[in-house]
Amino acid sequence: MAGAPLGNQNGAKQKRLLTDCLKRELTQNPEDVLAITRKLIESAKAGEAWAQQLVHDRADGKVPQPLVGDDELPPVRTVTRIELVDLDEHGTGQASS
List pLDDT tens digits, range 67-92: 676 777 777 777 788 877 777 777 67
Does 39 fall in a domain? Answer: yes
Structural domain span for residue 29: 18-63
Does 57 fall in a domain? Answer: yes
Going 47 to 48 to 50 to 55, the CA torsion angle's sign is: negative
Question: What local confidence, expressed as pLDDT, does residue 1 receive?
Answer: 46
Does 50 fall in a domain? Answer: yes
Provide the greatest CA pair distance for the chain: 68
Radius of gyration of the chain (CA): 23
Q: Tabulate helix, strand, coil % of the chain (nearest 5).
A: 45, 5, 50
Question: What local confidence, expressed as pLDDT, does residue 46 receive?
Answer: 97
Integer Cα distance of 71 and 18 in angstroms: 39
